[in-house]
Structure 1
């Protein structure tokens, strides 16, 4: 990369970060609707203001909470439950606001830390040179690969993933239900055991994702420690960095949480409660210095943990904030990003050169990194992931092709529409009577006896001022009726209703609550990734909207459909089916008739292809579908492929020649 190219590319990255920072909020106010205390924690139900530029999401974990009182106070945001519109606080300096009062949250300013990294000329050049090297030649070092022989449960593709740490950048592509995180845990456990001097940096997007990845590594090491003493030693040196872990994940695994000084966090919260107005220059300067002194003590604690760890796990955002501390212990032998398809390029490239090798684990067909700005540079560098450098036909990519979540018919839809038919039900599941029994369906009125039902609806969406978004009363009512029938056979906790629109989620929740169905899950699709339920109902609400015709919407719909284990119900109006993707999904589920005739029996007829219009035909091994149109006076014909739902056009002369008829 020439100096001019470097400066130009770096300028685009910084422009993208600046554009996103311009969209970022310094604070957001919420109106409290309910308050209760559970031990040392305060649980607040809140309303999201209709005019808010930032909603309630997991990015607010770690935010500072403040209220004006009297008396004014502060707390640390332990966690956020977006679907319940709930904020959970800890270390409160006093009683937080009650109903009809306001609470202010100051989000962590991780983007500013990322900007500082890219402003450093030497480091940013190293990041872009790493990317250039990846594009030129992604080299493989077999000696750097862990052994795949320790885990008998590994499937074939999972086993082949153990080659990924040997590449400069390896890509673990894990579609839904394929056991990506468990595979990653086994891979890293084997790596730590085979290379006892190695050091690994494990990163992910959210605190929960970090917790699950780290616990997966620990479980795999636990599985090995009876036969391999090195596994027992490795378990003692895997640590979680950061204070916002989910404690329930570590029950029985407390060794993963290093002793931390909670008093530092409490002291920081107490200082936040005394935040002076910036116009009071002297007081604000003294306050800022005290805050920075406390943060330096926290960074020192992080350095102490890293010094004795072989695997350190933290969020990508926190890694940018603690970059100086991480860089002191670089190079790590391996930097691993779980849920990497949700990590923006600018974040990933800023951290990857901390290691000699990198593994990116995720699914580029599911949710992409979230970016608020529409600026081209922000979309490119913050809204796309490292998976854009993946070559799925190259040895540096491992596609996990067996899934154990979805019943066969649901898997067929997801596989053919989103994964080119490569995803299938795992062989061990097909032979497992318990797995099969769990996916048997009880008869329910208006629903197919198959795993996938497309329910036609006539209701249209409308914009609601009360709900501040698109809603569809007709489908909300239909969902209530369906759930009332379903709960006779399926537990409420095992039913999930998904919709892309927050307003419709609120409406559906009200309908179900009024019907006494409070335990049924209702969520926007963004919050559902990683979850699964016996029965999933998907309501697109406004399938014809521009929002649902984007690439991001394609990923979102994939997430929605792939949450279902046994039954998937999709509600589609004629307007919804104007969306080519939703129409295609519905078409995939057309039952393929038995005994479909071969096209070879018709190509010799003078009236071909008109004679097969409206018929189901098989075109070799290429396609099975219904002939829907004859085009260009018979020079072409169109079929609706039963396997993929796509409309495909064939040249008549080509088909005649291939299948034996005269041209």
Structure 2
């Protein structure tokens, strides 16, 4: 009979008790949800006595007839029946997960409502109908400029009868939605910043009835929005911020509000609610004399809030003398290169233009000292021209601009749907804004339709463009006081809208042509570096860029007082530090090869510190391709130098580019004080920079400073390039060419198996520009590793000890990308912090793959993908971690990192985080996480049911992604789609074998039944947070579904329907060659078959019968350890022990456990071989030979087969509900031979 629904208060009481037991690790997935009955009863009694209303609860329970925990678990549907006499309860995991998810939802609603109430305030407003105002917590900064929001349009709102706004409703359109998908689609309609279609239904009045302006708040990251109106009878009903996927109701609990006599209301909103450089609608709904209006204003957050003041460094960089450049050649690519690139044989035509490039091609793309400059210059020209052409393809004509002070916003109109603005434009790129006014009106626009003239204009410098503008004015007429050309800079790109900034105010009521062009200064610095290289001494170039074979040399020796004491136990790190810090002159560039978590940056910082402390004559230049890497090295050095006994008065200078000014809120205060950004940004004079012992800047900034005489001569004795494998050789030369001298030492650190250089020209990348100096040097003979793993320690160190991650996480990317050479040495007490997490099925394997079969979509006018179902799963995990923590221990926001390769996806996730004031949870692309580490990393792969994986196929990107977590890695994606890649397939298989494949069940077509899963064709992941709350028939026992829900006729009908749709196994069976009937004895195939069987029987008689011994494959031997070659005079180095082969974990499920439809159902008695061999349709043919393997299903497979009502569907959650014996309906096993003639196509098990 069907069970009555549980009593709500009983379910709440018992569920809370079970969650407490889960927190104490009494109940967990790792114990298969079993708990000792006696222990459970004792704990429940303690829990009951601890309640303040204990007597009342006992009385209620006695009335209901449920006085013990066993009956309560049964009544509340938290119990799975176990055989009589079993000493354990088994908790129904799905029900407990469902209850936990409900609690998470409740806590999340409380959290959001509390934040919405506490982050807004309306001083001076009069509440309506008894609404109370919160105490004022924030104050407007009176010194801050009040910026007026741009009024758009107004809508006269006609309220619908009986409309009551719910959580999935739109107040503007007076409509509620049934599903979250429809609701989010509707929100996108209002918030799509590419064209704002919702404005078409509104009317623009000559002036708005309310005005909105915003200011910063004092000592806060909140914005204060001031609403002003001249109408004294105005009542504000709603203040709505339109986000990507939802409406954010400001001050919702206190609405509506009367406007006070002053006519002003102030609303305080957390700035993190807004995305930087994204135009967001703000909706004001109000009532005037019974009439409802909706006004839409647009807001764009253009910059981060200012930081607080910090301690002053007495030895700041002097800002009185600024940098002066000696000029930079224009370096315009010749027109012949552009002509060559238009042909299919472009490479042959380019070879005809440059003899060095021709030599490079003839040598099979081998770079030599003779062809280096010509080859790199040609490849740079290819990259330069193709990148410029991509920019020019975005040219916009007849454009009207949305103005926000000095910031401008323009919606892009593209000629093709396959073009993405986000993939081409970047912050900092140049924009030429050309006024189209003229006589005739369209004359300027028509002139700019000529692509050759546009290309010529884009290649001009500042002075040449001004001269071009004067010529245009002469031809089409002057604009009086207006300018013809405005120079602007891109601030950001979102979907198909570009936000730019211009120092001058543009006139209204006119149209413009916009020409985008990349910031070519960096490209020109690279051209200049190649030119300077030809003037550099031949021997210096050979020693640094083309080192010859170097014989083993004695190791550098000396005593070092380490700042980081932990390095002393790491022989590879100590080897690198000694060689760098104690060698007077390195024979070649010293390479520190550091896989993830091996302490590469730690090694470099310690080596620089030792040079700074022990060798005062040295001056050190540190460079990297990214600001993030430079900041990390500089910050670590400043903290180390602060502890040094005797410090130089000017120890370190961090030189920032002007573009860093906008990310000042992400830069540490200490770092700012030792930089050129402690006040307003400035470029310091070269002489001032040379006074500092350690100078840190990016490669591109070093190229800029070199135009003013920076680092020329023997200024710097040691030059470090961090993350050298992420920059092209031309980019590295841009920074180091000016430092080359007979006494200079170059140290390169990086990992060429992580993210590499970013190029926009695919042809330039394929032809060799993507090959880095780091990787090219490793190919030279002096850096080669012998077969036994030894190498020349005088020129390189290969770090192999990982101190970051859990051993299983290290093993994952170690076996995939590093040939098993890495060793896990992280402290277990740190990396095993999450092993007892409620959601983790296997304490020894902290890698989960959550299967989600979502839908991949992209926002309108954007190619960036998103997946709403994966966003929901990501947020489910984040909310569970933030609200419940780990065994009751709260997590910090900084412990969690969320990675997604698609911008649209991580922007939507970031919006969800900001709604809950979780802005300190890092969320971004793989590139943003390079060099970072987090205790918990959650990854959303987005792609689902797409024919290709795009850049998910990139091994370097996947390597970085897998190596970021310290303790826990949660991967979320579509396993069927991702299995197109062998690395993803390996990860999914590992999670399946270790019982950490959770979420939606996944049918693996390539599954090997000889492996651990016992031949099941369907993987049954354990239930997780991503499961829906609503139960359906899939969650029931198949015996219940068939026995209780269907009559015989209905069952036969279902069987016929299922039979008409053949399963994959039946389809495979049909494709096998037909075997002749036993009646056709004269068929050639039968005679041949009988002859083969006679031979087999004769062979069997000659063979002694014995027990069958399974063949166990030998474990794969570990790859040879990498170790330095012993030096002639030094003691031989200790051999690094080989990595032990990790033992595979036994599956958590018992072998005796029966599975029905993939669900364990009670305990099954062991069957003999004879019992499990089902009679087949080919019993008349002896099957001693492997070629005649029985392909029909055995009784074991029948017990596993899907019920009729479940066939052709995804299998249910891994949730047992009983077994066949409970219904006294055991599937029949017949030993009779099959009938000669089939009477029916329907088979009933």
TM over 0.5, shorter chain: yes
Residue 152 (1) aligns with residue 565 (2): yes
Residue 394 (1) aligns with residue 807 (2): no
Per-residue Cα deviation, 1:506-560 (whole angstroms, up to 9, x for no partner): 455567778997765442222221233332222333487363475xx11101111
Residue 573 (1) aligns with residue 1009 (2): no
State how far apart, in whole Å, the 1-side matches of 2:411 and 2:554 are: 52
- Residues 264-303 of structure 1: pairs in structure 2 closer than 5 A: 301-303=684-686
Summarize the Cα distance change of 1:424–1:501 in structure 2 as closer, same or farther, 3 Å threshold: same
Tell me which protein shows more helix as a share of its residues: 1
Per-residue Cα deviation, 1:258-303 (whole angstroms, up to 9, x for no partner): 699958x6xxxxxxxxxxxxxxxxxxxxxxxxxxxxxxxx5xx432
TM-score for the superposition, normalised by structure 2? 0.39
State how far apart, in whole Å, the 2-side matches of 1:572 and 1:470 are: 14
2:567 counterpart SS class:
coil
Cross-structure match for 1:285: none
Cross-structure match for 1:309: 692
- Residues 571-650 of structure 1: pairs in structure 2 closer than 5 A: 571-589=973-991, 591=993, 612=1110, 618=1115
Cross-structure match for 1:19: 382
Cross-structure match for 1:414: 813
Per-residue Cα deviation, 1:461-513 (whole angstroms, up to 9, x for no partner): 46775541444444344334444434332555543332223344445556777
State how far apart, in whole Å, the 2-side matches of 1:223 and 1:536 are: 33
1:420 counterpart SS class:
coil
Alpha-carbon contact 2:809-2:846 (below 8 Å) kept: yes
Cross-structure match for 1:118: 530
- Residues 122-141 of structure 1: pairs in structure 2 closer than 5 A: 122-123=534-535, 126=538, 129-130=542-543, 133-137=546-550
State how far apart, in whole Å, the 2-side matches of 1:191 and 1:80 are: 41
- Residues 343-362 of structure 1: pairs in structure 2 closer than 5 A: 343-352=727-736, 354-355=739-740, 356-362=744-750
Alpha-carbon contact 2:899-2:906 (below 8 Å) kept: yes
State how far apart, in whole Å, the 2-side matches of 1:589 and 1:234 are: 55
RMSD, matched Cα: 5.1
State how far apart, in whole Å, the 1-side matches of 2:819 and 2:542 are: 33
Deviating more after overlay: 617-626 vs 478-487: 617-626
Summarize the Cα distance change of 1:75–1:302 in structure 2 as closer, same or farther, 3 Å threshold: farther
State how far apart, in whole Å, the 1-side matches of 2:920 and 2:747 are: 38
- Residues 492-571 of structure 1: pairs in structure 2 closer than 5 A: 494-506=895-907, 508=909, 521-542=922-943, 545=948, 547-548=950-951, 553-570=954-971, 571=973
Summarize the Cα distance change of 1:146–1:574 in structure 2 as closer, same or farther, 3 Å threshold: farther
Residue 179 of structure 1 and its aligned partner are, at CA, apart by 3.4
Gaps of at least 5 residues in structure 1 are 266-297, 598-604, 627-632, 635-663
Q: Bigger radius of gyration, 1 or 2?
A: 2
Alpha-carbon contact 1:201-1:335 (below 8 Å) kept: yes
Residue 6 of structure 1 and its aligned partner are, at CA, apart by 4.6
Summarize the Cα distance change of 1:201–1:29 in structure 2 as closer, same or farther, 3 Å threshold: farther
- Residues 324-403 of structure 1: pairs in structure 2 closer than 5 A: 324=707, 325-330=709-714, 332-352=716-736, 354-355=739-740, 356-376=744-764, 380-390=768-778, 391=783, 393-395=791-793, 396-403=795-802
1:421 counterpart SS class:
coil
Cross-structure match for 1:186: 606
Residue 150 of structure 1 and its aligned partner are, at CA, apart by 4.8
Deviating more after overlay: 188-197 vs 143-152: 143-152
Summarize the Cα distance change of 1:136–1:53 in structure 2 as closer, same or farther, 3 Å threshold: farther
Gaps of at least 5 residues in structure 2 are 1-354, 360-367, 436-481, 786-790, 886-890, 996-1010, 1013-1102, 1119-1139, 1145-1185, 1188-1245
- Residues 190-229 of structure 1: pairs in structure 2 closer than 5 A: 190-224=610-644, 227=645, 229=646
State how far apart, in whole Å, the 1-side matches of 2:675 and 2:979 are: 50
Q: Which of the numbers 227, 233, 256 marks the counterpart of 2:648?
A: 233
Residue 255 of structure 1 and its aligned partner are, at CA, apart by 5.9
Summarize the Cα distance change of 1:57–1:196 in structure 2 as closer, same or farther, 3 Å threshold: farther
Deviating more after overlay: 510-519 vs 159-168: 510-519
Alpha-carbon contact 1:146-1:194 (below 8 Å) kept: no
Alpha-carbon contact 1:214-1:313 (below 8 Å) kept: yes
Summarize the Cα distance change of 1:620–1:357 in structure 2 as closer, same or farther, 3 Å threshold: closer
State how far apart, in whole Å, the 1-side matches of 2:792 and 2:899 are: 36
Cross-structure match for 2:804: 405
Alpha-carbon contact 1:6-1:125 (below 8 Å) kept: no
Residue 350 of structure 1 and its aligned partner are, at CA, apart by 4.9
Residue 591 of structure 1 and its aligned partner are, at CA, apart by 4.9
State how far apart, in whole Å, the 2-side matches of 1:583 and 1:531 are: 26
State how far apart, in whole Å, the 2-side matches of 1:453 and 1:486 are: 15
Summarize the Cα distance change of 1:476–1:148 in structure 2 as closer, same or farther, 3 Å threshold: same
Per-residue Cα deviation, 1:60-110 (whole angstroms, up to 9, x for no partner): 45x667878999987888x97999x99898x9667999xx99997863521
Summarize the Cα distance change of 1:119–1:502 in structure 2 as closer, same or farther, 3 Å threshold: same
State how far apart, in whole Å, the 2-side matches of 1:565 and 1:516 are: 24
Q: Which of the numbers 670, 680, 703 marks the counterpart of 1:320?
A: 703
State how far apart, in whole Å, the 2-side matches of 1:578 and 1:47 are: 35
Cross-structure match for 2:851: 456
TM-score for the superposition, normalised by structure 1? 0.69
State how far apart, in whole Å, the 2-side matches of 1:625 and 1:606 are: 35
Deviating more after overlay: 22-31 vs 582-591: 22-31
Alpha-carbon contact 2:653-2:695 (below 8 Å) kept: yes
Alpha-carbon contact 2:376-2:769 (below 8 Å) kept: yes
1:181 counterpart SS class:
helix
Alpha-carbon contact 1:539-1:572 (below 8 Å) kept: no
Q: Which of the numbers 553, 556, 578 marks the counterpart of 1:163?
A: 578
Summarize the Cα distance change of 1:618–1:513 in structure 2 as closer, same or farther, 3 Å threshold: same
State how far apart, in whole Å, the 1-side matches of 2:526 and 2:802 are: 36
Alpha-carbon contact 1:307-1:329 (below 8 Å) kept: no
Residue 388 of structure 1 and its aligned partner are, at CA, apart by 3.6
2:797 counterpart SS class:
strand
Summarize the Cα distance change of 1:159–1:575 in structure 2 as closer, same or farther, 3 Å threshold: same
Count of residues in correspondence between the two structures? 563
Alpha-carbon contact 2:832-2:967 (below 8 Å) kept: no
State how far apart, in whole Å, the 1-side matches of 2:850 and 2:527 are: 48
State how far apart, in whole Å, the 2-side matches of 1:419 and 1:314 are: 31
State how far apart, in whole Å, the 1-side matches of 2:804 and 2:408 are: 33
State how far apart, in whole Å, the 2-side matches of 1:616 and 1:35 are: 70
Deviating more after overlay: 509-518 vs 418-427: 509-518
State how far apart, in whole Å, the 2-side matches of 1:560 and 1:214 are: 25
State how far apart, in whole Å, the 1-side matches of 2:1113 and 2:553 are: 48
1:326 counterpart SS class:
coil
Per-residue Cα deviation, 1:590-640 (whole angstroms, up to 9, x for no partner): 6579xx99xxxxxxx9999x9647x776467796789xxxxxx99xxxxxx
Alpha-carbon contact 1:164-1:172 (below 8 Å) kept: no
